[in-house]
Amino acid sequence: MMKNKLFLTQTDTTIGFVSQDASKIDKAKRRLPDKHYIRTVDSLRTLKKFTRVPEQHKNRVRRAKRVTFIINGNSYRVVKDEEHNLLLNRVGWFYSSSANLSGESYSQAYAEKETEVLVSFPRKSVGQSSTIYRLGVKNLKSIR
């Protein structure tokens, strides 16, 4: 099925690998499987399938753009980028990571060699990483 493939695409923040199979991203990035990936979701409805957003932070999550939230030890980002959502809306969610070897800078030749499906958009840039916040029941902590 297509959603278990490794895609190379322009995400809402950078050029990245996305897949519903985290082991495919591990293999492409040549990193150990014990690290977690950001789970990008297409809507708040999809996010509710994975976690409960603390009441105090619901408006913050709903309005955030290019912001990743750590909730109960897992990372989530609701994507509002229309181009990336063309792919994301078809499957609901993906694990997401930058398209490079762990600790290395982006190489288009390397990324294209490692991917199974190349999704092309006109905007080809390595952008700024998302802001990350850890949400508690009552508190908010800036991570990046």
pLDDT digit string, tens, across residues 28-47? 998 888 888 999 999 999 99
For residue 43, what pLDDT is reported? 92
Residue 56 is given by DSSP the state G
Per-residue model confidence as pLDDT tens digits over 73-132: 999 999 987 777 788 888 899 999 988 887 788 888 898 899 998 887 655 555 667 788
**Which parts of the chain fold into alpha helices (H)?**
22-29, 44-50, 58-63, 82-91, 108-114
What's the pLDDT at 121? Answer: 62
Please state the pTM of the whole predicted model: 0.87
DSSP 119: -
For residue 124, what pLDDT is reported?
54
Tokens of 60: 């913050």
Query: What is the predicted pLDDT for the residue at 126?
Result: 58
Give the pLDDT score at 60. Answer: 92
**Class at the top of the CATH hierarchy for domain 2-142:** alpha beta
